[in-house]
Amino acid sequence: MLIDLAPRSSSTDVRAANTQRVLDVLRSSANEWMTVRVLSEVSGISRPTVTRVCESLVEAGWAAVNEGVSQGVGRPAREFRFRAEHRSVATVILRPDEVRCQIGDLSGEALASHHQPGLDLTDPGAAAQAVADAVKRTQELAGTSTLPASLVCSVPGLVTPNGDIWTSVDAPGWVNSDLAHQVRRLLPSTRLSLANESHLAAQAELNHGTLRGVDSAIYLHSARSFDPVAIVGGRVYTGANGAAGTSGGFDLRPLLKGTLGLEELIFIHEGGDKVATERITEYIDATCHLVALLISAFDPSLVVFGGVLSKVRDIVAPRLERELATMLRRPPLLVNAGLSLDAAPLRGGLDLALAELDLEHIAAF
């Protein structure tokens, strides 16, 4: 006999847990119709409870119902399907000079993207307005009628548990600026979270890329910074204050010579510019020992080159391998990431937006 598996602390907790469980099963097969019998078997929840939950989900718009066609004696079995189109979620990559937005449905499938470079977003008010404008523009492109239910905004800085940016090398004007509050005022119907860009990229690589199923690793996220993110026990390790590994708040990196950043230099290097190649090589030489020290402290099985760093693996890998060989008896395997520089934090942002939406909507039942 199947029983409800949720803790019995209160009837409200039981209903919420059962609803979440059934919803998770429906969403895991977003394009399939499932009978109450199948949902009961997969979820481990009794059929009467599954029936009540499904009816509440249909009423609230999260599920669709197919009454079925009778094939003989007895009532035809009803089937239910998750309505991925019911609401949308969004993620934004926010940097001091650009904003990139992506909107997805409730199955996590991307519906539309929008990118606006060449901006001056050093002022937090301008940054908040750019986020709101990008979300609304992407919503138009996606053809959705309402603003996203959940939005995750990645920033080049370290974020406190309550969502404040407490330090940032790339965007010092956003520190303690209450940027999240300013965005919420512009998008009042949307649940908002801020997150570190490197952490989101590493999480996406865990969920969808080279790090799937890996227990211990270092993900080297490289955009304008060069941030090693630790994977411990199959999860992104952020530390007590969200600062583990990342250089979002403490500029431990030697400055690149000149005014160009790592992204720009690598782009020029790919065009055959020898000066750019020399500067990148000098930067890697100066950085490798520090990165190798951090890697050796975690003794991972894998080191993943993410972002633009994967484009200069021929420069990075031999130097890092030499450093690690002096520190670890069994150096980790060095591989390239499965997701690109911008795809990784966008994918990680959509994943987090979906996860936080679960916590948000389930209280309504």
Q: Give residue 291's pLDDT.
A: 87
Domain segments of the chain as ranges: 11-82, 88-200+343-364, 212-336
SS3 of residue 30 by DSSP: coil
Strands 333-336 and 302-305: parallel
Closest C-alpha among 185, 132, 196 to residue 161: 196
- C-alpha distances in Å from residue 32, one per residue of 25, 28, 47, 66: 11, 9, 19, 11
Q: Give residue 102's pLDDT.
A: 97
Q: pLDDT digit string (tens) for 158-210?
A: 888 778 898 888 899 999 999 999 999 999 989 999 999 999 999 999 999 99
Q: Model-level pTM? A: 0.82
pLDDT along the chain (365 residues), means of 10: 42 82 85 91 93 91 79 70 88 96 91 96 97 97 90 91 84 92 94 92 94 95 80 91 64 58 86 91 87 91 91 93 94 93 92 80 53
DSSP track, 80-112: EEE-TTS-EEEEEEEETTEEEEEEEETTS-EEE
- Taking residue 251's Cβ as centre, other Cβ atoms within 10 Å add up to 11
Q: Give residue 251's pLDDT.
A: 47
* 220 alpha-carbon distance from chain centroid: 16
Q: Give residue 229's pLDDT.
A: 92
Q: Scanning the structure block, which residue is given the tokens 């069994």?
A: 330
Q: Is 212-336 the same fold as 88-200+343-364?
A: yes
Q: Give residue 55's pLDDT.
A: 92
DSSP track, 321-357: HHHHHTT-SSPPEEEE-SS-TTHHHHHHHHHHHHHHH
Which tokens hold the place of 124?
Answer: 């937090």
Edge-first strand listing for the sheet containing 217-222: 235-237, 226-232, 217-222, 302-305, 333-336
Q: Give residue 10's pLDDT.
A: 62
- Mention the CATH class of domain 11-82: mainly alpha
CA 66, CA 269: separation in Å to the nearest integer?
57
CA 213, CA 306: separation in Å to the nearest integer?
17
- Residues 49-84 as b or e (16 or more Cβ within 10 Å = b): bbbebbebbbeeebbbeeeeeeeeeeeeebbbbbbb
Architecture of the 212-336 domain: 2-Layer Sandwich (3.30)
Residue 148 CB burial class (10 angstroms; 0-12, 13-18, ≥19): buried
Q: Give residue 328's pLDDT.
A: 93
Residue 199 CB burial class (10 angstroms; 0-12, 13-18, ≥19): buried
Strands 150-155 and 191-196: parallel
Sign of CA dihedral 283, 288, 289, 291: positive
Q: pLDDT digit string (tens) for 290-320?
A: 889 989 999 999 999 998 888 999 999 999 9
- Mention the CATH class of domain 88-200+343-364: alpha beta
Q: Kind and range of the H or E element at 165?
A: strand 165-167
Using an 8 Å Cβ cutoff, are 286 and 255 in contact? Answer: no
CA 207, CA 297: separation in Å to the nearest integer?
24
